[in-house]
């Protein structure tokens, strides 16, 4: 029936659901002469959007569905024309495919969904005769023509009603189409948003994976830091034991000082024995002071070691401040211990100064006793003047505790204190003093004030 091998798209949709007004057929003849090609002219209104599978078929009058076509041709797509303008189109049907009987037929435009979009008036395939131009005179023919006219009028009324119904359906479908288009746009927007969310979710998953890897690295670093803390704690306990030993030795020195005082009391009862014992005690005292100085230097080395570890711990704490609060507390305890040690060191220095003062006083008293109280004089001194000179030389010697520089007794006390102060750094917040050689400890101390 068709020139092509493809079957056209049809449907079982009834005539009531068709849209006959969207395609208008023009210049349709009442009859076409058999054996010749015919051209179908039609107009695409702005209510239809032509598609590639639309077709025009020839149907016998009385058809019910689009599946009852006699023959068809594919509808050409208009080119270079906007969809909002009516377009004139034409299709040529070859004579070979046209009907051979004289039944009534009509053209129908069917879209690719199988729905009728337009229908022509009926026509026949027969030769033109004189009867077509003569007036019908027989009563039977008149009645037949009148019956046909009534049927055609009835069909025309039905077609008009169907056309009005189809126009209303077309408007409803246009509204539904607009709503569908809005829903389609919303769906596309949601689809785009979903893709963005999926991309963001993928990015978040990658970031979460990276954070987990960083967390594992942090945990490993924290484990290493804990091992270092344990090592430092062990060394700290070792230093505390050494410090305890130094304190015990200081207690022994204090005990020796008490014994020395008892010896001084005994010397008052026996001047001869007192002089001999005093010389021996003086020698022992010098040895004791030398030992004490040596122990002090060892203690300072211990403190320097502590300060070194303190600086190391401070550096670690700066890198891991939020994760190592306990380490900061231990550093504060070590600083407190350092302050206690420094205070004890200051007390030791003060006690040394007192011992030097007592030794000087004792030398003066001995020189006085040797000048007037002893019968035979001091056998270990050339004269009282030489003894006084030695006493003055000893009393006049001042030694810097920081750099061991010796100053003569004639130097002003303020100058000597200024020299000692030049070796120190004073905290502007708590007035605590630090040696300039321990600049890292001073910086850590200032930094701890900033954390408070």
Mean pLDDT throughout 430-442? Answer: 81
What tokens were used for 318?
């700066």
**Whether residue 143 has pLDDT greater than 80:** no
HSE of 120, CA atoms in CB hemisphere, 13 A: 25
What is the structure's pLDDT at 82?
62
What tokens were used for 267?
């010397």
Nearest CA to 18 out of 46, 48, 42 is that of 48
Q: Got the DSSP string for 313-382?
A: HHHHHHHTTTT-HHHHHHHHHHHHHHHHHHHHHHHHHHHHHHHHHHHHHHHHHHHHHHHHT-SS--TT-S
- 427 and 434 Cβ atoms separated by less than 8 Å: yes
**Whether residue 404 has pLDDT greater than 90:** no
Q: What H or E segment, with its residue span, contains residue 312?
A: helix 271-319
For residue 40, how many other CB atoms are within 10 A of its CB?
Answer: 20
Per-residue model confidence as pLDDT tens digits over 31-81 = 999 989 999 999 999 888 899 999 999 999 999 889 999 999 999 998 866
What is the structure's pLDDT at 74?
95
Find all residues with CB under 8 Å of 26, minimum gap 6, and list them. Answer: 41, 42, 43, 88
Percent of the chain exceeding pLDDT 70 equals: 83
What is the structure's pLDDT at 385?
46
**Whether residue 2 has pLDDT greater than 70:** no
Burial (CB count <10 Å: 0-12, 13-18, 19+), residue 112: middle
What is the structure's pLDDT at 37?
94
Find all residues with CB under 8 Å of 103, minimum gap 6, and list them. Answer: 60, 61, 124
**Whether residue 383 has pLDDT greater than 50:** no
What tokens were used for 76?
């050409």
**Whether residue 306 has pLDDT greater than 80:** no
Report helix, strand and coil shares of the chain as percent, to nearest 5.
60, 15, 25
What is the structure's pLDDT at 413?
78
Mean pLDDT throughout 168-193? Answer: 82
237 SS3 class: helix
What is the structure's pLDDT at 83?
57
Kindly report the average pLDDT of the chain as a whole number. Answer: 80
pLDDT bin (cut points 50, 70, 90) of residue 271 is: confident
Nearest CA to 249 out of 314, 294, 215 is that of 294
């Amino acid at each position: 029936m068709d020139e092509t091998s493809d079957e056209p798209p049809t449907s079982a949709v009834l005539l009531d659901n068709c849209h006959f007004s969207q395609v208008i057929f023009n210049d349709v003849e009442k009859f076409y002469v058999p054996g010749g090609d015919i051209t179908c002219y039609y107009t695409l209104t702005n209510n239809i959007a032509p598609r590639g599978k639309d077709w025009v078929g020839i149907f016998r009058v009385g058809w019910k569905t689009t599946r009852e076509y006699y023959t068809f041709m594919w509808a050409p797509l208009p080119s270079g024309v906007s969809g909002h303008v009516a377009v004139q189109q034409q299709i040529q049907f070859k004579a070979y495919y046209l009907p051979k009987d004289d039944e009534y037929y009509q053209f129908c435009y069917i879209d690719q969904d199988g729905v009728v979009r337009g229908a022509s008036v009926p026509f026949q395939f027969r030769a033109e005769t004189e009867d077509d131009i003569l007036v019908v005179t027989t009563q039977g023919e008149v009645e037949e023509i009148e019956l046909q006219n009534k049927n055609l009028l009835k069909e025309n009324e039905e077609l008009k009603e169907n056309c009005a119904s189809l126009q209303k359906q077309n408007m409803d479908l246009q509204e539904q189409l607009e709503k569908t288009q809005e829903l389609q746009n919303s769906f596309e927007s949601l689809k785009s948003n979903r893709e963005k969310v999926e991309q963001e979710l993928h990015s978040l998953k990658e970031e979460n994976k990276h954070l987990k890897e960083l967390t594992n690295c942090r945990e490993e670093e924290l484990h290493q830091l804990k091992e270092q803390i344990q090592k430092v704690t062990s060394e700290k306990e070792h230093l505390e034991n050494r410090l305890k030993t130094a304190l015990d030795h200081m207690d022994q020195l204090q005990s020796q000082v008490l014994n020395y005082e008892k010896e001084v009391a005994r010397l008052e009862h026996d001047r001869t024995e007192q002089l001999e014992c005093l010389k021996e005690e003086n020698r022992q005292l010098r040895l004791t002071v030398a030992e004490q100085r040596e122990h002090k230097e060892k203690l300072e080395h211990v403190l320097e070691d502590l300060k070194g570890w303190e600086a190391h711990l401070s550096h670690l704490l700066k890198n891991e401040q939020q994760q190592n609060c306990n380490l900061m507390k231990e550093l504060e305890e070590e600083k407190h211990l350092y302050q206690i040690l420094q205070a004890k060191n200051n007390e030791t220095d003060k006690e040394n100064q007192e011992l030097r003062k007592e030794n000087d006083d004792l030398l003066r008293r001995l020189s006085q006793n040797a000048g007037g109280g002893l019968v035979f004089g001091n056998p270990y001194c050339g004269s009282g003047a030489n003894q006084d000179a030695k006493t003055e030389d000893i009393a006049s010697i001042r030694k810097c505790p920081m750099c061991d520089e010796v100053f003569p007794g004639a130097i002003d006390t303020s100058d000597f204190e200024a020299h000692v102060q030049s070796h120190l750094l004073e905290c502007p917040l708590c007035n605590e003093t630090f040696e300039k050689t321990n600049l890292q400890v001073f910086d850590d101390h200032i930094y701890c004030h900033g954390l408070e």
